[in-house]
Amino acid sequence: MAVPLIFRSSVMVCGASMCGIVGYIGDKNARTILVEGLKSLEYRGYDSAGFAVFSADGRLELCKTEGKISALEKKAAGLTGHYTCGIAHTRWATHGAATEVNAHPHISSDGRIVLVHNGIIENYVNLRRLLEAEGVVFRSETDTEVLAQLVAKFYEPGRLVEAVTSALKSVQGTYGIAVMATDMPGTIVGARNGSPLVVGIGEGTWCLASDKSALPAEVSKLFYLEDTELVCLDDDGYRTMSLENVEIRKEVLEFQYEIEHADKNGYPHYMLKEIFEQPRTIADCFRGRILPEQGMVKLGGLAAIEDRLRDFSRIVITACGTSWHAALVGEYLIEELAGIPVEVEYASEFRYRNPVIGPETLVLVISQSGETADTLAALREAKMRGATVAGIVNVTGSTIARESGCGIYIHAGPEKSVASTKAFTSQVTALALIALRLARMSKMSGSQGMSFIQELMRLPEKMERVLEQASAIRALADEFKGQSNCLYLGRGFHFPVALEGALKLKEVSYIHAEGYPAAEMKHGPIALIEKGMPVVVVAPRYGVYEKVISNIEEIRARKGRVIAIATEGDESIRRHADVVFHVPDVIEPLSPLLTVVPLQLLAYYITVAKGLDPDMPRNLAKSVTVE
Ligand code: AGP
C-alpha cells in the first residue's frame, strides 16, 4: 500500500471527524453499503443517524432516526428495494438536540435537495433569516438545514455543482458535505472546508466518506479533497473542481480495505484490544528507526529539517487531551536527555494567545487523528509566526500530517476506541526517539545512546509482563465502581502519567478524577481526602521515591485508600499502600510507558463493571474537528 512512511509525500490518506459521512454510487445495494459504512464510523461517537437512497427508477427514500444505527436499521426494514446511489450520516449534535428531525440527511422544503454535513456553519442564523424572509419554511433547528435550503435556492435542474458552489460562497464556517438532487438520481456532489472528505474509486464504484475506514471493499484507490475543493460523482466517474468550478487534478493513492477494517479480534471492546496491542505498537514505532550499534536513531520524516535541528533554541509542543499528556512526558524527556528548553501548550490556548515563537522555535504538533481542530489551528498559527513545525501523528495522510510538512508517523494502526491508549504510548515512544536524536547532537555519548536503545528494545517484553496483571486489576474494579471521586498522584515523569490515568477514568467511567503532582497535595487537594477515598499513586523507585512514600502516608493518615504503582521487587511499599501493582524496572525516562498501563486497564475494567461501553463514552467523539 502506497502509504507515505514519512511526511515527504504531499498527498493525504486519511481523516477523522466528529460525525460520519458516507456516499455511494455503484451496482451493490446502496442501503447496505451506506449502513455498513456508518457502522465503521460508530466508534467516533454520535447520537442520531440517517440515509437517503435512490432506487434504480429514480425514486428517493429517506430514513433517519435518533439513537444508534441499530435503530436506523430497524426503521429501514421496510426498504427492501435495490438502491444504486445514496448518502448517509451519523450526527454528533452541535446545533440542535439529538432528535429525528435534526438528524441528517436534511431535505430542502421544495423537496429537490438532500444533504448531509459535518462541521459548523457559523453564519447560519443570518442565512436562515434571509431564507425565511423569502418564504422558506424550516423544519429543524440545525445549521445544516440552512445549507440544504441555500443549495435549493440556487438550484437549476441538472446543475447541482453550480448550485452547491453558489451556496458555499455565502457560507462561513467548516463543512464536509455530500449533496444529491432529486431530479439527478445517480449524482453526488461532495465539498470540503475543514471537515475531511475522502473519495473512494473502484470498478464501477464511486464513494465519498469522512474517513477511509468507511469505504467498502470494492474501493481500490482513493484521494482526499483539500479545503474549498469539490467533487462530482456519477455513473461516468468523477470530476474535481474548485469553488470557482475550475477543474483540479488530484493524485490518486492505492487503498487496501483489510488494513483499515481492524476489528476487535475477539476482545469485548476496542479499548481493551488497543491496550493489549501496545507491546507491538511501541515496537512498530521504533522499528526501522533505531541504530543500536551506533546508539543513534534515523527519523526520515525529519530529513527536511535535519540540518537545522542544532539551530533551535527552544521547542514548543502543542496538542490536546491525551496527546497533551504525551507532550508533557516529551518535555521531561527532551529537557532531561538533550538539555533543550521545552514548553507544552494546550493547542486551544496556543491558537488564541500571543505566543512568543519564531524561526528559532521548533513546534512539535501531536495528534492521533491528525484532524483535531484546535491542534490544526495551533499548527497554522505556529507556521504563520515563522516557526518550524513537525508533526507526530497516527493517522497517515491526515490534515495535520500534511500541513506539518515533516514529522513522524507513530504507526499505532487504527485507534478505534474514543479513549486513546496505544496512541499515547506510541506518541511517547516517538518523543523518546526525538529526544535521543537531539541528545546525541550534544550531551549524550554513543555508549549512552546504545544503552538507551537497549532499554527501549526491552520495553515490549516488559509491557507484556504488566499486561499479565490485567485480571488482578480487574478484581479491583468492583471496589471502585461505586466511587464518585478519585485522585491520581505522581512526581516528575509520572506527573503526566497521573494526569493521563485520571483522564482515562473520567472519560470512560464518568467518575470524577483529578491528576496532581504528588507534592502539590498539601496545597489544597488533601482537603478532599476522606475515609475510603481512592488515591492512585504512581510510585516507582526513582529519585523522589521516599518523598512519594511520605505523600502516601499523608493520605493514609486521613484514611484515604492508596493504590500504588510500584517497581517490581519493591515489597516495602506494601507497608504504606493498601493495594500494589508492580511494573518492571526500566530507566526513568522510559518508565511512563509502563506505569500508564495499569491505569489504562483500571479505567477500562471500572467502566465495564459499571455496565458502560468504554468504546463510545457519552458526549465524546474520537476526533474533535470543531472548536
Ligand atoms: C483521549 O482519550 C481523548 N480521546 C482526547 O483527549 C484526545 O486525546 C484529544 O481529543 C486529542 O485527539 P488527537 O490526538 O486525535 O488530536
Q: Is the same domain home to 343 and 292?
A: yes
Residue 34 falls within a domain, yes or no? yes
Indicate whether 531 and 462 sit together in one domain.
no
Clarify whether 406 is annotated catalytic. Answer: no
Number of domains in the chain: 3
In this structure, the strands spanning 83-91 and 106-107 are unpaired
Same domain, 455 and 545: no
- Cell numbers standing for residue 558: 486521613
CA dist 61 and 66 (Å) reads 17
Same domain, 460 and 549: no
* 366 and 438 part of one domain: yes
Check whether residue 397 and residue 497 sit in a common domain: no
CATH code, domain carrying 379: 3.40.50.10490
Domain boundary among 254, 289, 322: 254
94 and 188 part of one domain: yes
Residues 612 and 473 in one domain: yes
426 lines ligand 1 (CB under 6 A): no
User: Do 219 and 326 share a domain, yes or no?
Assistant: no
Give the DSSP letter of residue 194.
Answer: B
Instruction: Give, as one character, the DSSP assignment of residue 19.
Output: S
- Is pTM, for the whole model, over 0.85? no
Decide if 259 is inside a domain: no
Q: Residue 404: what pLDDT?
A: 94
Atom of ligand 1 nearest to the CA of 507: 2
Range of the domain at 237: 5-254
Q: What pLDDT, on the 0 to 100 scale, is given for residue 43? A: 66
Residue 247 pLDDT: 95
Distance 332 CA to ligand 1 centre (A): 20
22 and 158 within one domain: yes
Least Cα distance to 497 among 574, 590, 573 occurs for 590
pLDDT of residue 266: 84
Which portions of the chain are predicted below pLDDT 70?
1-18, 43-44, 94-95, 258-262
CATH of the domain at 247: 3.60.20.10
Q: For ligand 1, is residue 321 a contact (CB within 6 Å)?
A: yes
Three-state SS letters, 208-250 = EECCHHHCCCCEEEEEECCCCEEEEEECCEEEEEECCCCECCC
Best mutation site among 320, 350, 351, 626 for ligand 1 pocket (most ligand atoms within 8 Å of CB): 320
pLDDT at 10: 28
Alpha carbon separation from 160 to 163, 190, 412 (Å, rounded):
5, 11, 40
Nearest protein CA to atom 5 of ligand 1, as residue? 321
Which of 423, 448, 468 is the endpoint of a domain?
468
Which tens digits make up the pLDDT trace of 251-299?
Answer: 898 888 766 566 888 899 999 999 999 999 999 999 989 999 999 999 9
Q: 274 CB under 6 A from ligand 1?
A: no
Q: What's the CA-to-centroid distance between 34 and ligand 1, angstroms?
A: 27
Q: Are residues 72 and 188 in the same domain?
A: yes
In this prediction, residue 39 carries a pLDDT of 87
- Would you call 28 a catalytic residue per the annotation? no
Are 458 and 508 in a shared domain? no
Predicted confidence at residue 262, as pLDDT, reads 65
Residue 421 Cβ inside 6 Å of ligand 1? The answer reads no
The verdict on the CB of residue 322 being under 6 Å from ligand 1 is yes
